[in-house]
């Protein structure tokens, strides 16, 4: 009973603080502008590497090395590189999914930016791959055309036939890299409280601090009493 009486007396004595602190924090919460916290989104695309006997574009490790270093972006995506420079490399992640499959991931503050970035990088790689594929295909066609025009000696006819068959078979099995699925994104934005909710929260925090301050002397008194015993 004495505890409650002392607590009530203390509250009445500092009534101005009891009213002022919650009100002040409520006003601060209402007036202070709080910008939206940065969102984090990640977009990803799955790419199957090509197959046309290219030691760089057809092998997973060289492709990952290429897509995680600056020269590729400086050459293939100069505008995106100019906007981000070295920071761009920290936004890109390439994963090896085995069987010549890679997953390209791109992080950005907005869902649209993440998807656009992932698609732009994917398109740039596919375009570069297509150029290498076309050069390889053109070389095979030129070689086959040249062999058809030339008349090999009888002794070399069998070897020439085998070579032609090998080139024709290679051409039939060749394929460029391709994107297996549309770019998908994941992530969630973090929004702020409204002014009214921040005001209510400020008032609650203020009242909590006042009650804790009023109760603190009783805890100190109780501990001192135990120490005296």
Domains and CATH numbers, the chain: 40-132+175-187 (3.30.70.1130)
CA distance 47 to 217: 67
Radius of gyration of the chain (CA): 35
Q: Of 1-15, 104-118, 126-140, which range is least confident?
A: 1-15
CA distance 113 to 119: 10
Answer for the pair 105, 54: CB distance below 8 angstroms, yes or no. Answer: no
More confident residue, 7 or 199: 199
Would you say the pTM of this structure is higher than 0.85?
Answer: no
Q: What are phi and psi of 28, to 5 degrees?
A: -60, -45
CA distance 108 to 168: 45
pLDDT tens per residue across span 144-188: 888 777 765 655 666 667 877 788 888 888 999 999 988 998 865
Mean pLDDT of the chain: 82
CA distance 63 to 147: 34
pLDDT tens per residue across span 35-73: 544 568 999 999 999 999 999 999 999 999 999 999 999
Query: What confidence tier does 96 reach under pLDDT thresholds 50, 70, 90?
Result: very high
* H helix or E strand, kind and range, residue 186: strand 184-188
Mean pLDDT of all residues in 127-134: 98
Q: Of 28-32, 123-127, 142-146, 189-193, which range is least confident?
A: 189-193
Query: What confidence tier does 200 reach under pLDDT thresholds 50, 70, 90?
Result: confident
Other Cβ atoms closer than 10 A to 19: 13
CA distance 49 to 132: 12
């Amino acid at each position: 009973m004495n505890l409650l009486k002392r607590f009530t007396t203390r509250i009445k004595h500092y009534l101005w603080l009891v009213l002022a602190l919650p009100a002040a924090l409520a006003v601060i919460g209402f007036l202070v502008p709080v910008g939206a916290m940065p969102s984090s989104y990640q977009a990803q695309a799955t790419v199957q590497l090509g197959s046309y006997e290219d030691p760089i574009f057809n092998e997973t490790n060289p492709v990952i090395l290429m897509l995680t270093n600056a020269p590729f972006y400086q050459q293939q995506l100069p505008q995106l590189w100019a906007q981000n420079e070295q920071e761009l490399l920290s936004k890109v992640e390439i994963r090896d999914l085995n069987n010549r499959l890679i997953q390209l991931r791109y992080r950005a503050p907005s869902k649209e930016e993440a998807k656009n970035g992932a698609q732009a990088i994917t398109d740039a790689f596919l375009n570069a791959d297509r150029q290498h594929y076309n050069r390889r295909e053109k070389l095979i066609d030129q070689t086959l055309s040249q062999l058809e025009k030339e008349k090999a000696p009888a002794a070399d006819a069998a070897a020439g036939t085998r070579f032609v068959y090998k080139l024709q078979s290679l051409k039939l099995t060749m394929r460029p890299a391709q994107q297996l699925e549309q770019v998908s994104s994941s992530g969630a934005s973090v929004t702020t409280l409204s002014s009214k909710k921040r005001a209510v929260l400020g008032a609650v925090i203020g009242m909590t601090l006042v009650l804790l301050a009023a109760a603190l002397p009783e805890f100190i008194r109780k501990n001192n009493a135990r120490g005296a015993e």
